[in-house]
A and B are shown apart, each in its own frame.
Chain A
Amino acid sequence: MGTILSIRDLWKIYPNGTIANQDVSVDIEQGSVHAIVGENGAGKTTLMKVVFGITQPKSGSISLRGKPFAPSQPSDAIQAGVGMVHQHLMLAPELTVAENIVLGVEPKNAGVFFDFDAAVRTARDISEQYQLSVPVDKRIDELPVGTRQRVEILKALYRNAELLILDEPTAVLTPQETDILFQTLDRLKEQGKTIVFISHKLKEVKRIADTVTIMRAAKVVETRAAEELTIEAIAERMVGHKIDLSRVPAPEQVGAARLSVRNLCMTRDDGVQAVKNVSFEVAGGEILGVAGVEGNGQTELVRALVGLLPVDSGEILVGSSDIASLSPKEIRHLGVSHIPEDRMEDGVAPLMSIQENIIVDRYDKPAFSTRLRIFWKKVLAHTVGLITDYRVRAGSPKHEISSLSGGNIQKCVVARELSADPDVVVASQPTRGVDIGSWEHLHSLIVEARDRGRAVFLVSADLDEILKLSTRIIVMYDGEIVARFDDASKVTATDLGPYMLGVKRQEADSAAVSA
């Protein structure tokens, strides 16, 4: 068949210095289904964004059907016959299916008018041609997600896409919808289309892909025919043979349970069950690590623990009080601290000063203010103290916090949350995107909190971090706890991989949990 897309020595570095693709080379065969797998942050979506012209690489080359290809915007890629179905569907909700499909290359009447009937006809034709049934004259907001995704695929096919990129297409689908999607992809392959399938769901990859490219930490680990790889082998390569890093010693003594979650269920705004009957406890003096690929309910769970999302049912006990319907402030007063996963979004107000960012949870404490005024001098002294204690590299506490580096901003966030004297620390991706020095330092801070008797709930997509810090580990997959390890020191990345990727689950244990 020949190679349709060839990527050579591609580098992509984001302005903030993150290396997303490092020396990546991939060849994609015409008429195949090619899966690109890897953990979150492995660089697979970035690579495809480059191919679709959403971002541009620093160096390296791409050729499409043997010709050099350097799209500077999506319309270049579309013209060249590349289509992309994004993870978040990109459809205008109040337009009809037909209108969404033809948007941008509308059929015209008399050269001027939009020919709606022709649009409907075309949409119908194309949906019949590819046997993708959609109600062409219905509005998008009346349709279920699976159907919307079919509209996205038709959008690309209508633009004569020969190469179709699907970014985590099954993340939003029910199992039945996933089946239908896979039948569709099989048919498209028979019709000669090439499909690039980005995923971390290995069963699906095995089911659909001809070839698999495994990425890890911005690099390609391996590209092989799918039949030569077992699911276990893919999982192992994705996670990597991690050198057994120095783990922190287990705590000398573990106290009583400080945080207990019982039978917690949550639904996302789009109706998907995000957290399914989750129960666990965290005791004072231990770190409970949550391993799992991102998007398996950890974000929702964390936000429920700190009062930022409502729950459907279940209990969240801090000490003896149920906090499930309390406000964020009330929960903080009960001694819960939160290191948020997206520090620029939730953790700081970038254009406020360092000291103003430090006091967001304590400006109303008697030490810093009365009803009538804030004592900025005390705030300043307090901030200077924290900057020193937590070794933040900062000029003046009055500078905007966004003038600091990512690692130092995160140290400010951690300084604030740990200095609040919490009983429970909820830490989500605490070291994401920080330099190695800050990584070590932030870890020692978390361990120190543990040793002072705090209950630490640690969520991280970084397995090294989970393995290094955790006293116990649970694994989340698809909103459920699929594995529990009571002695983290005996666990390796290879043990966790299959659970994280949904290949294995501890049936007995989870049955015990739901009982």
Chain B
Amino acid sequence: MTSLLDSIFSVEFLFAVLRVSTPLIFPALGVAITAMSGNINIGLEGIMLIAAFTGVIVSIYTESLMLALLAGVASGIFFGAALGYFHLKLKADIILAAVALNFLASGLTIFLLIVITGGRNTSALRSLTFPSFSIPLLRSIPILGPVLSGHNIMTYVAFLSVLVYYIVMFKTPLGLRIRAVGQNPDAARSVGIDVDRVKLYALMISGVFGALGGLYLSMGYVSWFSRDMVAGRGFIAVAAATMGSNLSLGTLLGSMLFGLVNTLTIYIASLDIPSDLVQSIPYLATVIVLAVYSARNFAPRKRRAAHRRRQRAQAHGKDT
């Protein structure tokens, strides 16, 4: 047990938590912003996959990290917009449309990968990667330095994105409109805001966040693209954002909780603790949080009804 505690409080462990959390923070922000506009977006899984793929291919063909980044982000925006088109314009249910787009991403990436490379030996494709970055002053602080410094630049971008999310959501007119649309579309409509357009923008921004997450996966976390490499992170993001009530800090903490647990399972694999069970805890926690949250929202009305029933019962009691 002490060895476990030792390893958990080691620098390497904390460093790993940040690394594992990175590809969760990005999509969680994407889920959060669409949730703020009033939609559940389970399509981040596909958005990440497409961007991960686009980044790798473009980096190999252009040998430019910048172009890869731009192309990846563009693909994410495109996918977000496509989801918006099917949901807002063609009136598809957003859950089912997202399921379809996730399938599309899964198939299209491998299809194109094979077509482009002309063969099956795709793991030989080595992508450019985003560089790691050590922060000069921070580096020299004991403990904190080695934990916080030396990460892939995208990890810093992820934390920066939380700030960006906060600013967009709470410090820009667009954010205000997104929140207004999510809370009461009629209110937004009554002041001449185009509700569908605002929802579309939210989906496109969620495409940007998702794309950054996908790019980090294939061009930072590892340096290649592989089949379904997103591996459910787009769904975990839904949980993380939900736990954090779609607020910036909450979403960050939600993502890091999943990051922590995932890292933990790697560390305790050698020990006698069943890592599978530990891994399931944050999902169970999300269900419980959701249940408690909706029960609380539901309570006032119920309480009133119960109160009335009691009163009635008393009244009847007096009668007899």
Contact present for A313 and B305 (CB under 8 Å): no
CA distance A378 to B187 in the complex (A): 50
CA distance A312 to B306 in the complex (A): 10
Interface majority SS (helix, strand, loop, mixed), chain B:
helix
Report the minimal beta-carbon distance from A113 to chain B, rounded to whole angstroms. Answer: 5
CA distance A86 to B315 in the complex (A): 40
A423: interface (CB < 8 Å)? no
What are the residues of chain A within 8 A of B304 when measuring CB–CB?
267
CA distance A84 to B301 in the complex (A): 31
What are the residues of chain B within 8 A of A310 when measuring CB–CB?
305, 308
Contact present for A93 and B192 (CB under 8 Å): no
Contact with A along B168-202 (1 / 0, CB 8 A): 00111101110110011011111111000000000
Report the minimal beta-carbon distance from B50 to chain A, rounded to whole angstroms. Answer: 29
CA distance A92 to B183 in the complex (A): 5
CA distance A90 to B167 in the complex (A): 26
B311: interface (CB < 8 Å)? yes
A108: interface (CB < 8 Å)? yes
Contact present for B315 and A74 (CB under 8 Å): no
Given contacts A103-B177, A104-B193, A313-B312, contact A93 B184 (CB under 8 A): yes
Most A CB contacts (10 A, CB to CB) among B175, B193, B309, B312 go to B312
CA distance A506 to B190 in the complex (A): 42
Instruction: Mark out the residues of chain A between 290 and 344 whose CB falls within 8 Å of any chain B CB in the assembled complex.
Output: 310-313, 324-325
What are the residues of chain A within 8 A of B177 when measuring CB–CB?
103-104
What are the residues of chain A within 8 A of B308 when measuring CB–CB?
310-313
Quick one: which of B179, B191, B312, B315 contacts A104, CB cutoff 8 A?
A: B191
What are the residues of chain B within 8 A of A99 when measuring CB–CB?
176, 180
Contact present for A155 and B184 (CB under 8 Å): no
What are the residues of chain A within 8 A of B176 when measuring CB–CB?
95, 99, 103, 106, 114
Contact present for A103 and B188 (CB under 8 Å): yes
What are the residues of chain B within 8 A of A267 when measuring CB–CB?
304
A73: interface (CB < 8 Å)? yes
Contact present for B180 and A92 (CB under 8 Å): yes
CA distance A108 to B192 in the complex (A): 18
Report the minimal beta-carbon distance from A266 to chain B, rounded to whole angstroms. Answer: 10
Quick one: which of B172, B190, B193, B305 contacts A114, CB cutoff 8 A?
A: B172
Report the minimal beta-carbon distance from A52 to chain B, rounded to whole angstroms. Answer: 9
Contact present for A90 and B190 (CB under 8 Å): yes
Residue ID in chain B nearest A84 by CB atoms: B190
CA distance A188 to B301 in the complex (A): 38
Given contacts A92-B179, A114-B175, A114-B176, contact A74 B192 (CB under 8 A): yes
Most A CB contacts (10 A, CB to CB) among B183, B190, B192, B315 go to B190
Give the bracket for the number of chain A residues in contact with chain B: 20 to 34
A78: interface (CB < 8 Å)? yes
Contact present for B190 and A74 (CB under 8 Å): yes
Contact present for B172 and A112 (CB under 8 Å): yes
Quick one: which of B170, B192, B311 contacts A78, CB cutoff 8 A?
A: B192
What are the residues of chain B within 8 A of A30 when measuring CB–CB?
none
What are the residues of chain A within 8 A of B188 when measuring CB–CB?
92, 103-104
CA distance A325 to B187 in the complex (A): 36
A46: interface (CB < 8 Å)? no
Give the bracket for the number of chain B residues in contact with chain A: 20 to 34
Contact present for B171 and A74 (CB under 8 Å): no
A510: interface (CB < 8 Å)? no
Quick one: which of A93, A104, A113, A325 contacts B183, CB cutoff 8 A?
A: A93
A75: interface (CB < 8 Å)? yes
Instruction: Mark out the residues of chain A between 75 and 121 whose CB falls within 8 Å of any chain B CB in the assembled complex.
Output: 75, 78, 84, 86, 88, 90-95, 99-100, 103-106, 108, 112-114, 116
What are the residues of chain B within 8 A of A108 when measuring CB–CB?
173
Residue ID in chain A nearest B191 by CB atoms: A104
CA distance A90 to B192 in the complex (A): 12
Contact present for B315 and A313 (CB under 8 Å): yes
Quick one: which of A112, A155, A313 contacts B191, CB cutoff 8 A?
A: A155
What are the residues of chain A within 8 A of B173 when measuring CB–CB?
106, 108, 114
Contact present for B172 and A92 (CB under 8 Å): no
Residue ID in chain B nearest A119 by CB atoms: B176
Contact present for B187 and A75 (CB under 8 Å): no
A269: interface (CB < 8 Å)? yes
Contact present for B191 and A103 (CB under 8 Å): yes
Contact present for A90 and B309 (CB under 8 Å): no
Instruction: Mark out the residues of chain A between 145 and 164 whose CB falls within 8 Å of any chain B CB in the assembled complex.
Output: 155, 159
CA distance A50 to B184 in the complex (A): 22
What are the residues of chain B within 8 A of A112 when measuring CB–CB?
172
Most B CB contacts (10 A, CB to CB) among A92, A100, A113, A324 go to A92
Residue ID in chain A nearest B192 by CB atoms: A75
Residue ID in chain A nearest B311 by CB atoms: A313
CA distance A100 to B315 in the complex (A): 45
Contact present for A95 and B192 (CB under 8 Å): no
Residue ID in chain A nearest B175 by CB atoms: A114
Report the minimal beta-carbon distance from A378 to chain B, rounded to whole angstroms. Answer: 36
What are the residues of chain A within 8 A of B192 when measuring CB–CB?
73-75, 78, 104
Report the minimal beta-carbon distance from B269 to chain A, rounded to whole angstroms. Answer: 43
Given contacts A78-B192, A313-B308, A313-B315, contact A113 B187 (CB under 8 A): no
What are the residues of chain A within 8 A of B183 when measuring CB–CB?
92-95
Quick one: which of A88, A94, A103, A113 contacts B172, CB cutoff 8 A?
A: A113
Contact present for B312 and A103 (CB under 8 Å): no
What are the residues of chain B within 8 A of A100 when measuring CB–CB?
180, 187
Residue ID in chain B nearest A100 by CB atoms: B187
What are the residues of chain B within 8 A of A84 when measuring CB–CB?
190
Contact present for B301 and A269 (CB under 8 Å): yes
What are the residues of chain B within 8 A of A74 when measuring CB–CB?
189-192
Residue ID in chain A nearest B305 by CB atoms: A310
Residue ID in chain B nearest A141 by CB atoms: B183
Report the minimal beta-carbon distance from B100 to chain A, rounded to whole angstroms. Answer: 23
Contact present for B179 and A95 (CB under 8 Å): yes
CA distance A88 to B190 in the complex (A): 11
Report the minimal beta-carbon distance from B121 to chain A, rounded to whole angstroms. Answer: 48
Residue ID in chain B nearest A312 by CB atoms: B308
Report the minimal beta-carbon distance from B209 to chain A, rounded to whole angstroms. Answer: 19
Instruction: Mark out the residues of chain B between 67 and 104 whose CB falls within 8 Å of any chain A CB in the assembled complex.
Output: none
CA distance A123 to B116 in the complex (A): 58
Quick one: which of B167, B175, B184, B311 contacts A92, CB cutoff 8 A?
A: B184
CA distance A325 to B312 in the complex (A): 9
Q: Can you list 13 A-B contacts (CB < 8 A)?
A: A75-B191, A78-B191, A78-B192, A88-B186, A90-B186, A90-B187, A92-B188, A103-B177, A105-B191, A108-B173, A114-B176, A311-B308, A313-B311
A103-B187, A312-B308 provided; 10 other pairs, C-beta below 8 A?
A75-B191, A95-B176, A95-B179, A103-B180, A114-B170, A114-B176, A267-B304, A269-B301, A313-B308, A325-B312
Question: Across chains A and B, which 5 residue pairs bring their CB atoms closest together, nearest first?
Answer: A75-B192, A104-B191, A90-B190, A106-B173, A92-B183
